[in-house]
Structure 1
């Protein structure tokens, strides 16, 4: 597992990432409390034609840092540093939830680096409703830490999954999922929720030049449709698509989620290749030392 050191506002981070496949670069940014393993189904679907880089940002997986407060800019710097270390000059960029906010920030500040952008369950700014929600998450996480409970993990399926999950699950299966979530949540999730509370991308949206897919969960109870409309209105070259799932579509329908994103990426790759007809094929990306 490669590591790269990144200077942050409050110290440094050693960012862990996976690099898989060959072809044009693709960087995947996970959501709050998750890790790079969130992207395994999509990686498996596209690694035959994309060089996939999936980092853990601070608070998750194999990445370690100073342990203090984080900013959206810090996390975007970590993602870009992983792409640099993996040898990606320009790349497609996909983010889920907080990962979508990180990806938007990166695409706005480094438009020359981003070929295309997919934002699933992203939001433009943390309004009063989202602030209440994220504050509640922190309350649950602090209570769990103090008392050894799993209130946050028990809340997650209720908030993150759509009707199809509940139609096919049982009480026993949901209890098993809650136990798994409680064990798998990233240790730095509370620090990441503090970043959720800080998001305000409205001044940056117009600076995103990459063709962008705003991918919404049709049953998302965490991020409202108003936030998707704000992303669409603010990003010049953007379009909208829905998946029949909730906020947690990567876990609720991993195959369908991967297929939708792979379709967009393949379309963008084909569009880039048209003007270069007859030119030499783009070489496989080589890792930097």
Structure 2
């Protein structure tokens, strides 16, 4: 039976709550480290590790978005927060969407990067390839991820040694612990959740995303009542290939929403 215990997490800083949910194969520290350092002077940051990441053990049963959403909220409550801004990248965006739908009163604002409403056959085919490669040849999966997750501008600037170095860094983070995350990617279906999201939302798309292409983010923004849509240059791995661009878009939106929260509380 799956656990409802809080997830392993990073907790840092002081101030209003900011919760950050990482993407497939990443961890809280690798996905969000620079952002945590940049905002810890004004936000209490909670960055959970999903099952199979960091100190969170893989779950014995298939991962479920609603169950993960409740574990994220339990994690945030354990850190002493009851209302928070929420940011998710990739599968973290899917989890964040589920959190905002199941716990609308807790979410002050929502930022979703590289998110999607429902996995289509094209993405299911891709995620099945990821799982097969992870089980058989991690080096080949790493090479596939370099070519699809990174944007074309970055790839065009790499030399032979840099390609090899990037592939090695991908290989180092890949192991069987993340199979559950990949299998969840293949089963995402948030259509029933869309109408229950009440938080102001920024849907952030990378124009050159070849993992979850921008038409998915446009569909996501159209389905959320209070959503804004922003498309920027870059690939699926924008937090890693251009952290300045990614984190500035996130912090600008969260700071704007927090200013509104503070003004409303003062009246």
Aligned to 2:201: 212
For 1:83 and 1:166, locate their aligned partners in 2 and report how far apart those are by CA, in whole Å.
Answer: 37
Shift of 1:137: 1.1
Conservation of the 8 A alpha-carbon contact between 1:92 and 1:116:
yes
Shift of 1:80: 1.1
- Give per-residue Cα distances to partners, 1:1-27, cap 9 Å, x unaligned: xxxxxxxx5346562111111110000
The TM-score normalised by the length of structure 1 is 0.88
Aligned to 1:6: none
- Give per-residue Cα distances to partners, 1:68-93, cap 9 Å, x unaligned: 32212232222111101001100000
- Give per-residue Cα distances to partners, 1:16-39, cap 9 Å, x unaligned: 111111110000000011100110
The structure with the greater share of residues assigned to helix is 2
Gaps of at least 5 residues in structure 1 are 1-8, 280-289
Conservation of the 8 A alpha-carbon contact between 1:59 and 1:186:
no
Aligned to 2:76: 83
Shift of 1:64: 1.9
1:28 partner SS: strand
Shift of 1:255: 1.7
For 1:13 and 1:210, locate their aligned partners in 2 and report how far apart those are by CA, in whole Å.
Answer: 26
* CA gap 1:57/1:124 in 2 versus in 1, 3 angstroms: same
For 1:91 and 1:272, locate their aligned partners in 2 and report how far apart those are by CA, in whole Å.
Answer: 10
Aligned to 1:287: none
Larger displacement relative to structure 2 (59-68 or 43-52): 59-68
- 1:138 equivalent in alignment to 2:131: yes
Shift of 1:225: 2.4
* CA gap 1:171/1:56 in 2 versus in 1, 3 angstroms: same
Q: How many residues align?
A: 266
For 1:224 and 1:12, locate their aligned partners in 2 and report how far apart those are by CA, in whole Å.
Answer: 32
The TM-score normalised by the length of structure 2 is 0.95
Larger displacement relative to structure 2 (91-100 or 65-74): 65-74
Shift of 1:274: 2.2
Larger of the two Rg values belongs to structure: 1
Conservation of the 8 A alpha-carbon contact between 2:69 and 2:102:
no
Aligned to 1:4: none
Conservation of the 8 A alpha-carbon contact between 1:18 and 1:54:
yes
For 1:79 and 1:133, locate their aligned partners in 2 and report how far apart those are by CA, in whole Å.
Answer: 27
Aligned to 1:57: 50
2:123 partner SS: helix
2:7 partner SS: strand
- Give per-residue Cα distances to partners, 1:76-134, cap 9 Å, x unaligned: 22211110100110000000000000000010010000000000000000111111111
Gaps of at least 5 residues in structure 2 are none
2:260 partner SS: helix
Shift of 1:224: 2.0
Aligned to 2:183: 194
- Give per-residue Cα distances to partners, 1:249-287, cap 9 Å, x unaligned: 01101122111101111111112222344x7xxxxxxxx
| Equivalent runs, 1:15-26 vs 2, <5 Å | 15-26=7-18
Aligned to 1:257: 246
Shift of 1:164: 2.0
- 1:172 equivalent in alignment to 2:161: yes
Aligned to 2:237: 248
For 1:243 and 1:158, locate their aligned partners in 2 and report how far apart those are by CA, in whole Å.
Answer: 19
